[in-house]
Structure 1
Amino acid sequence: MALIDYILSRRSIRKYEKKVNQPLKIPDKWKVVALLTLGYPAEQPKQRKKKAIEKMFSQNTY
C-alpha cells in the first residue's frame, strides 16, 4: 500500500478538463467523467501514522 500511495495520486477532473480534451481532440459534446492519473509525486509525501488494525476492523461487533 505504501508503494501505491507513493506512486499514485488523485486529481480533480474539472480542473484539467480543457488540458485533457484539447490534445486528445475530445469534442465539446462529450464529457470526461473519469481519469486515471499515474506518476511519481513532485515531492516526497509525508509518512502517515499507521492505525492499529483493531481500530480499523471489527469482528462480530459494530
Structure 2
Amino acid sequence: MDVGNIPALATSMAQERTANAVAITVFKKSMDIQGAMAMALIDAVGQVQQNLPPHLGNNINTKA
C-alpha cells in the first residue's frame, strides 16, 4: 500500500462528504419551498370558493 496516497484520499473523501451535505441541504430547502408553494395554492383555492354566492353549485344541468 502506498502511504503517499492516504492524504489525497482523505481530502477527496472530505470533499465528497461536503458536496453530499450541500446537495442534501439544497434538496431539503427546495422541498420546503415546494411545500410552502403548495400550501399557498391550496389556501388560494379555499379563498376563491368562499367568495362565491351561496346559490352556485346547488343544481346540476342534466339537459346540456
Q: Which bin holds the TM-score, normalised by the shorter protein?
A: under 0.3
Per the normalisation by structure 2, the TM-score is 0.20
Please identify the structure whose Cα radius of gyration is greater.
2
Q: Per chain length, whose mean CA-contact separation is higher, i.e. which structure has more relative contact order (CA < 8 Å, sep 6+)?
A: 1
Per the normalisation by structure 1, the TM-score is 0.20
Greater helix fraction, Structure 1 or Structure 2: 2
